[in-house]
Amino acid sequence: MSGASTLSHARITRTGKRRSGGWTPWLYLAPALAVLGGLLVYPIYQLGLISLLEYTQAQVSGGEPTTFQGLANYAELFGDTRFWQVLLATVLFAAACVLATLAVGCALAVLLTRIRALPRLALMLAALGAWATPAITGSTVWLFLFDPDFGPVDKVLSALGLSGFAHYSWTYDRYTAFALVLLEVVWCSFPFVMVTVYAGIRAIPGEVLEAAALDGASQWRTWRSVLAPMLRPILVVVTLQSVIWDFKVFTQIYVMTNGGGIAKQNLVLNVYAYQTAFASAQYSLGSAIGVVMLLILLAVSLGYLRLLRRQGEEL
């Protein structure tokens, strides 16, 4: 057999192996994809279907047949000024939560690399305790801490001479209520960022950090120029996870503001969808809000990943 024919035969063999092995990863993923398909695809299909129908309490009770509305529910939703106000509040609130969670989590992750073993263990246990606390339990605890009559926060502030905080109601004003919920969301979310980023930092070779220290780089410069670029894949994951979590916050807002605050001043999209679907029995409009939330999260996630990929190609 000549050299050319041998080379051709080797190429054919490698191509055949590549094609035959191309389905192997999908075979391993098939069970998980089947479970996800049952848990996600069908409910999303039902959500989209109901958003195109006239589905109110009359249809739920079987008194009237469902009728196809097309995009009429979306037209009604987009023509409602309340929807746009709630959407803007949701975007701003979620952005503030994401930024605060990333800042606290990354700062504490760096701190974990600077302290001794015993304080590090105490901080890790405290953070994991906050992470493991159910949202409704954490929200109730934070409400007690800031209770105007029995909460220790108002008593401590009053004892420090801040008389304006005596029996101060943190959930009465729109912005203080949002700030209180933000603190609780950050408290229960930063441990995920802290632990993930800390694991990424520990995986970075020590020689890199030693070189930065020898060059006289400050802590902030080391983070910005050395750690952050090397931790980019991890930061992408925790950022997207935080965006998804914080954009669809429900329990904290619902519990801490008693269903959306006074005159519904603290509504976010998830609570707004719940109030529309179940409190007002407008299930089709509530489903339309859910579809809009899903599309927004998909657009933000795909756009963020595309931007990071483009920046990675330019570097």
Q: What superfamily in CATH does domain 88-281 come from?
A: MetI-like (1.10.3720.10)
List, as own/partner pairs, every contact residues 92-97 make where C-beta atoms lie below 8 angstroms and the sequence separation is at least 24, other chains included. 93/178, 93/181, 93/182, 93/246, 93/249, 93/268, 94/243, 94/246, 94/247, 94/249, 94/268, 96/182, 97/182, 97/185, 97/186, 97/189, 97/242, 97/246, 97/249
Residue ranges of the domains in the chain?
88-281
Contact 289, 272 (CB under 8 A): yes
- The larger pLDDT score, comparing residue 57 to residue 291, is at 291
CA angle 27, 30, 36 (to 5 degrees): 160
Provide the pLDDT confidence category of residue 207 given band limits of 50, 70 and 90.
Answer: confident
Distance CA 149, CA 138 (A): 19
- Per residue in 124-180, pLDDT (tens digit) is 999 999 999 999 999 999 999 999 999 999 999 998 988 888 889 999 999 999 999
Q: Is the pLDDT of residue 7 over 50?
A: no
Distance CA 191, CA 193 (A): 5
